[in-house]
């Protein structure tokens, strides 16, 4: 801290340049944290899933349905405790600009299988009692100002027409990777309006022991192998992971963009530091004359680079951490649980250190190696 006044004075020499350099670092690390959080959020979603839940879909593809009659047969398979099902509805509200997921579910069994969806008891009862009722995520209340008891109309995209529901309950996820801006309504209502096609989108099964998952899944798929609707069963985690792989190698893309931004900022910061030290050639010579050692000057220049990058990192990483959490950001429902992890902050810290070394080492070495007499003569 002895040299703090000297460091502060040097950083304040070109306030605008210092400010812009710090903001460049902050922006780069903010972007890095944001892009990396996309990857970690997708990864977390892929990891989500109870070890006691299996998902059974049509073997041809999960967008193809399965007969509702499978429910009883699935329940009868040894190891299966509970069975529920859901359909993707795909409705639009208002101008449709704000997307949210809509599912038709078998209300009672679905809420039994998903205890992570917390619904007040009275609202749950009201939802289950009303065939035209809907259960909405807490975020939709914030987004649209919907209230319990209110009628809302969606425009069906897969199932055409206007669909009006009465909001009967609001669920709050106890696990952050569960989307809190989805809407659910009764599968029976969908089935009725679509002239009782009797098809479910997919089944979710609760099994008695997690270690039996593979055995039960095989047993299910074997049973339906020769039917017109063969199945593909697996753990919920594997099912969610298959969605994550649909993003392709987005991790590589995000990492590449993030690191490219950081590298660009490294060049900007290094350039600013080089300019700053080049302008002070004479001053370094004076400090050496006064008795400052090469090593001390090296440390002081590196400390300047450190102050710039660390301040930028605190602003960039800190604002990413605080901002996304404060605004409950989830990319319009595509990335539930979007939160900058401490691991991302730690990686950002390592990048900050590399930025400091990358931008400060060369100018610091130049300042340290500067021959006093030559430096004084050169600028005179």
Partner 1 sequence: MALVEIRNVDKTFTRGAERIEVFSGLTLDVEKGSFTALMGPSGSGKSTLLNLIAGLDQPTGGTVRVNGATVSSMTASQLAGWRAENIGFVFQQFNLLPVLTAYQNVELPLLLTRLSKKEREERVRIALGVVGLDDRLDHYPRQLSGGQEQRVAIARAIVADPTLVLLDEPTGQLDAVSSQDVLTLLGRLNGEFGKTILIVTHDPAAAARARRQLHLEKGTFVEQGEPIT
Judged by the rule CB under 8 A, the positions of this chain that interact with partner 1 are: 2-3, 5-6, 9-10, 12-13, 282-283, 286-296, 372-373, 376, 380
How far is CA 107 from each of CA 56, 188, 195, 230, rounded to the nearest angstrom?
18, 9, 20, 25
Minimal distance, residue 307 CB to partner 1, in Å: 15
| CB closer to partner 1 out of 75 and 283 | 283
State the Cα–Cα distance between residues 239 and 57, nearest whole angstrom: 9
What value, to the nearest 5°, has the Cα angle with vertex 164 and ends 123 and 70? 75
Could you tell me the smallest distance in angstroms from the CB atom of residue 357 to partner 1?
23
Q: How far apart are CA 233 and CA 217, in angstroms?
A: 5
Token pair in block for residue 149: 């008891």
Q: From the CB of 99, what's the least distance to partner 1, in Å?
A: 54
Q: Quote the DSSP letter at residue 316.
A: H
| Residue whose CB is less far from partner 1, 212 or 282 | 282
| E strand intervals along 19-70 | 53-58, 66-67
Q: How far is the CB of 301 from partner 1 (least distance, A)?
A: 14
By beta-carbon proximity to partner 1, the closer residue of 3 and 99 is 3
* CA-based radius of gyration for the chain: 29
Which residue's CB is nearer to partner 1, number 7 or number 143?
A: 7
Q: Which is nearer to partner 1, 12 or 145 (CB)?
A: 12
Report the distance separating Cα 87 and Cα 191, nearest Å. 10
Tokens found for residue 225 = 């192998």
- Helix axis angle, 342-369 to 15-47, nearest 10°: 150
To partner 1, the closest distance from the beta carbon of 8 in angstroms equals: 9
Min CB(17)–partner 1 separation in Å = 13
The token pair that represents 52 in the structure block: 């006691």
Residue 304: CB minimum distance to partner 1, A: 12
**104 SS3 class:** strand
């Amino acid at each position: 801290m002895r040299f703090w006044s000297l460091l502060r004075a040097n950083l304040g020499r070109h306030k605008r340049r210092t400010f812009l350099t710090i903001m460049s670092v902050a922006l780069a690390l903010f972007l890095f944290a944001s892009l990396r959080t996309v990857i970690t959020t997708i990864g977390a979603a892929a990891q989500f899933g109870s070890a006691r839940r299996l998902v059974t879909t049509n073997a041809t593809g999960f967008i193809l349905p399965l007969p509702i009659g499978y429910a009883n047969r699935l329940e009868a398979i040894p190891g299966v405790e509970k069975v529920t099902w859901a359909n993707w509805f795909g409705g639009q509200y208002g101008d449709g600009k704000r997307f949210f997921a809509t599912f038709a579910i078998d209300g009672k069994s679905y809420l039994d299988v998903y205890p992570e969806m917390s619904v007040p008891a009275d609202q749950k009862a009201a939802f289950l009692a009303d065939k035209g009722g809907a259960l909405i995520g807490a975020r939709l209340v914030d987004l649209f100002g919907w209230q319990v008891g209110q009628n809302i109309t969606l425009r069906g995209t897969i199932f055409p027409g206007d669909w009006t529901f009465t909001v009967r309950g609001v669920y709050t996820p106890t696990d952050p990777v569960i989307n809190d801006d989805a809407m659910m309504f009764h599968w029976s209502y969908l089935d009725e309006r679509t002239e009782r096609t009797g098809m479910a989108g997919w089944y979710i099964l609760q099994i008695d022991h997690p270690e039996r998952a593979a055995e039960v899944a095989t047993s299910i798929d074997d049973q339906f192998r020769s039917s017109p609707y063969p199945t593909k069963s697996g753990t919920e985690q594997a099912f969610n992971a298959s969605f994550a792989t649909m993003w392709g190698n987005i991790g590589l893309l995000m990492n590449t963009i993030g690191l490219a931004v950081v590298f660009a900022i490294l060049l900007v910061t290094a350039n600013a530091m080089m300019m700053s030290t080049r302008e002070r050639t004479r001053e370094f010579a004076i400090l050496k004359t006064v008795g400052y050692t090469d090593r001390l000057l090296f440390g002081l220049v590196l400390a300047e680079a450190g102050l710039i990058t660390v301040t930028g990192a605190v602003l960039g990483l800190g604002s990413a951490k605080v901002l996304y959490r404060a605004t409950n950001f989830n990319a319009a429902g595509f990335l539930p649980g979007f939160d900058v992890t401490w691991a991302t902050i730690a990686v950002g810290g390592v990048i900050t250190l590399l930025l400091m070394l990358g931008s400060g080492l060369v100018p610091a070495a130049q300042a340290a190696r500067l021959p006093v007499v030559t430096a004084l003569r050169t600028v005179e």
